Amino acid sequence: ETGVTQTPRHLVMGMTNKKSLKCEQHLGHNAMYWYKQSAKKPLELMFVYSLEERVENNSVPSRFSPECPNSSHLFLHLHTLQPEDSALYLCASSPRGGLDTQYFGPGTRLTVL
Amino acid sequence: GESVGLHLPTLSVQEGDNSIINCAYSNSASDYFIWYKQESGKGPQFIIDIRSNMDKRQGQRVTVLLNKTVKHLSLQIAATQPGDSAVYFCAESITSGGSYIPTFGRGTSLIVHP
């Protein structure tokens, strides 16, 4: 266990559904990340939050909406997704924003029907 | 656009052998590189990193080599063990200006036979 938890671990949703992914860390880290890992593409950084403020957006479609209410929690709100959005969504945290100190959660396996 | 890619999608080795996993990167401005290990059902795990002012760095049973001339990165695992079986992928980033936005490689699946 890395200290980063994600819920749910598996999610199946229709294209008209609205769902949210949750990430939680109690490591005292100041930066949190959302990544997308699909079968056909390399790992992609979606969002970065540092001290609860969004730092990088990385041109992610608006159907993905992140929320970071505090330094321990990160959400990814999903609405009107497409089948190609099916992937493993990984959350990570780091003390100061460095890649070398990132701790990843186990991911949420999302399937969009 | 810039990309990071791996030469071999699957590498099978015998327990005790040394493993070498390769990665090519295309952005000559990248100055920081990381190797990750991802076991089935888990998130990626940092293994070792190297900055562009170095060409070699060693960890416990792992060595990363960086050849900036040909934009090539490799991960060497000594005395490979069954527990090393996982997907390994590299990442490159540009750290100047404080931004660490990474570009990741696709990954190589390492299979270690006992």
Sign (positive or negative) of CA dihedral A57, A61, A64, A69: positive
Burial B1-36 (b: 16+ CB within 10 A, else e): eeebbbeeeebebeeeeebebbbbbeeeebbbbbbb
Q: What is the percent of chain B where pLDDT is above 70?
A: 89
Residue of B nearest to A57 (CA): B101
User: Rounded to the nearest 5°, which phi and psi values hold at A107?
Assistant: 95, 160
Q: Is the dihedral of CA A21, A27, A30, A32 positive or negative?
A: negative
* pLDDT exceeds 90 at position B9: no
- What amino acid is encoded at A94 in this protein? S
Mean pLDDT of chain B: 89
Is the CA virtual torsion B59, A25, A3, A6 positive or negative?
A: negative
Do A45 and B102 count as a contact with CB atoms less than 8 A apart?
Answer: yes
CB contact under 8 A, B104 and A92: no
Which pLDDT score is estimated for B97?
Answer: 64
Reduced to 3 states, what is the DSSP secondary structure of residue B68?
coil
Looking at the partner chain, which of A48, A97, A100 has a beta carbon nearest the beta carbon of B34?
A100
How far apart CA A9 and CA A15 sit, in angstroms, is 19
Per-residue confidence at A4, pLDDT binned at 50, 70, 90? Answer: very high
Whether residue A90 and residue B100 make contact (CB cut-off 8 A), yes or no, is: no
Select the residue from A7, A32, A36, A102 to test the B interface by mutation, using most B Cβ atoms within 10 A.
A102
Question: Could you read off the pLDDT of B61-84 as tens digits, one per residue?
Answer: 999 999 999 999 999 999 999 999
Give residue-wise pLDDT tens across range A18-47: 999 999 998 999 999 999 999 878 999 999
For A70-84, what is each residue's pLDDT tens digit? 999 999 999 999 999
Give yes or no for B14 touching A (CB within 8 A): no
- Mean pLDDT of the B34-61 span: 94
| Mutate which: B46, B47, B51, B89, vs A, most A CBs within 10 A | B46
